[in-house]
Structure 1
């Protein structure tokens, strides 16, 4: 399993628009080999900003890397440069390979 995460610091005045941008997008992630799931997380408010984290889970890091080179990736990020910047600074990318998994018994 590979988890790819981007963290965004969003000023309070942009939070509603930032959320709407994510909630209304036409994601094609499910069409990509190795894709498992996506989550957009809303974190704590601090100093007039809210921390958000988007993360995708992939079967392997190579599946994630293949997606970043795909037409699907380019289409998903086409609006990123064209809209008003809603977050402070650049998103912070973090990638993680799983070394252990504990789950509820089936």
Structure 2
């Protein structure tokens, strides 16, 4: 199992808008070989930002890497970053191999 997470720092007051962007987004993941699961997670809020993470579970690192080179990946990210004022910097990608 392999997990890919992107952490997002969202400007205060834009949390609902960020969630709606993800709700309406067609990720194209359902038909991708090796894709298992997706969650959008909301973390702590501070005066500066609210933390969110997109969390995907894959059968393997290879399945994830194949997706990143696919037409489905390009289609899923075609409109990414169009509302730049809600993001406080770029997302932080974190990759994990399951060990237990």
Scaled by the length of structure 2, the TM-score of the pair is: 0.94
- What is the aligned partner in structure 2 of residue 84 from structure 1? 83
Deviation at 1:16, TM superposition (A): 1.5
Residues of 1 paired with 2:47 and 2:12: CA distance?
A: 9
Residues of 2 paired with 1:43 and 1:37: CA distance?
A: 19
Aligned-residue Cα RMSD (Å) equals: 0.9
Aligned residue pairs, count: 99
Scaled by the length of structure 1, the TM-score of the pair is: 0.89
5+ residue gaps, structure 2, are none
- What is the aligned partner in structure 1 of residue 27 from structure 2? 27
Residues of 1 paired with 2:45 and 2:28: CA distance?
A: 30
User: Bigger radius of gyration, 1 or 2?
Assistant: 1
Greater fraction of residues in strand:
1
Residues of 2 paired with 1:47 and 1:62: CA distance?
A: 39
Give a deviation string over 1:52-97, Cα, whole Å, max 9, x none.
000110000000000000000000000014x121211110000000
- What is the aligned partner in structure 1 of residue 49 from structure 2? 49
2:67 is equivalent to residue 67 of structure 1: yes
Whether contact under 8 Å (2:6, 2:54) holds in the other structure is yes
- What is the aligned partner in structure 1 of residue 97 from structure 2? 97
Give a deviation string over 1:23-72, Cα, whole Å, max 9, x none.
11122101000000001000110123110000110000000000000000
